[in-house]
A and B are shown apart, each in its own frame.
Chain A
Amino acid sequence: QLQLQESGPGLVKPSETLSLTCSVSGGSISDSSYYWGWIRQPPGKGLEWIGHIYYSGSAYYNPSLKSRVTISTDTSKNQFSLELTSVTAADTAVYYCARPMANVYDTWGHGTMISVAS
């Protein structure tokens, strides 16, 4: 059974870069069938799609975040990562990694809370 687990710093200072990793178990990130994605949810607010990456390396991003976001894969570790630059308080959120299949995110991690504060 596919499982995803996010890991990250918990607290990031304003203007710095947020880096998160999603560890994949029960499946291979190199599987040609899938994208691997990131979604976030600010406290008390709705879901916001950040982006996803295809096994081939092609990545697609939310236009509103595109200038600050990079998603990458590490096949040797069976992980994929998110980098978000120049963070502000508005980037405070629970960050989820998730896998879409058949146009829907059918597998999610538990999420990791990231706070942006000095």
Chain B
Amino acid sequence: SYKLTQPPSVSVSPGQTASITCAGDDLGDKFAAWYQQKPGQSPVVVIYQDYKRPSGIPERFSGSNSGNTATLTISGTQAMDEADYYCQAWDTNTVVFGGGTKLTV
């Protein structure tokens, strides 16, 4: 079955740029999405269809997807961005989540 691989953790200093990767076979041929989850809360989508931001998501969140890798980029990272981040893709009629990345600010 299809698999998405993320680094377990990423650290970034406040104000710097954080990049979280998500790897999967020919992931660039699928739509990738990214979720932010804070402790005790339901996940919230921050990027969908590779690079689109839902209303209410700050512009500092951006996404890209090409080849075998999708990337979530957070520019000017703030303390409030500290959370777990999950990538997600659809493979035919099924859904796959990455293992998650803990972002420490």
Contact = CB atoms under 8 A, between A and B. Distances in A.
Interface size class of B (residues with CB under 8 A): 20 to 34
Contacts, number: 59
Dominant SS among interface residues on chain B: strand
Interface in A19-57: 37, 39, 46-49, 52
Nearest to A110: B42
A60 B93 contact: yes
30 contacts: A37-B95, A46-B84, A46-B86, A46-B98, A46-B99, A47-B35, A47-B37, A47-B86, A47-B88, A47-B97, A49-B96, A52-B95, A60-B93, A60-B94, A62-B94, A63-B94, A96-B43, A100-B95, A103-B33, A103-B49, A103-B90, A104-B31, A105-B33, A105-B35, A105-B43, A105-B45, A106-B45, A108-B43, A108-B44, A110-B42
Given A49-B96, A105-B33, 20 more contacts: A46-B97, A47-B35, A48-B97, A49-B95, A49-B97, A60-B93, A60-B94, A61-B94, A62-B94, A100-B95, A103-B31, A103-B89, A104-B31, A104-B48, A104-B49, A105-B43, A105-B45, A106-B45, A106-B48, A110-B42
